[in-house]
Amino acid sequence: MTATDDAAPVSGTATVTASAAPASVTPSASVSPDTAAPDTSAPDTSAQDAAAARAKARRQAAVQAAEGATTTESGGTVAYGGQDLPDLIVAPPEKTDGALRLTVGLGDSITYRSGSWFRRVCGSGVVNTCRDSGIRGDTTAGMLSRLQTDVLDLHPDVVTVMAGTNDMLYGFTTAQSIRNIGEIVTQIRDSGATVVLCTIAPRNATPGEAMALNKAIRKYAKKHHVALFDVAPLLSTWNGRFKSGLTDDGVHPNARGMKLVADYAEQRLPALIK
> For the chain, what is the domain count?
1
pLDDT tens column, 189-243: 999 999 999 999 999 999 999 999 999 999 999 999 999 999 999 999 999 999 9
In a domain, residue 27? The reply is no
DSSP state string for 208-270: HHHHHHHHHHHHHHHHHT-EEE--HHHHB-TTSSBPTTSBSSSSSB-HHHHHHHHHHHHHHHH
- Structural domain containing residue 167: 46-272
- Could you list the beta-strand ranges (E) of the chain: 77-80, 83-86, 89-90, 102-107, 129-134, 158-161, 194-198, 227-229
Q: Which amino acid is at 18?
A: A
Q: CA-to-CA distance for 78 and 257, rounded, in angstroms?
A: 28
Q: Which 3 state secondary structure label does DSSP give 78?
A: strand
Residues of the chain with pLDDT under 50: 1-40, 58-59, 61-75, 77-86, 93-98
Question: What is the pLDDT, as a whole number, of residue 48?
Answer: 66
Question: What is the pLDDT, as a whole number, of residue 212?
Answer: 96
| Helix, strand, coil % over all residues of the chain, rounded to 5 | 35, 15, 50
Q: Which 3 state secondary structure label does DSSP give 90?
A: strand
In a domain, residue 231? The reply is yes
Question: What is the pLDDT, as a whole number, of residue 90?
Answer: 56
CATH number of the domain that residue 135 is part of: 3.40.50.1110
In a domain, residue 12? The reply is no
Predicted TM-score (pTM) of the model is 0.69
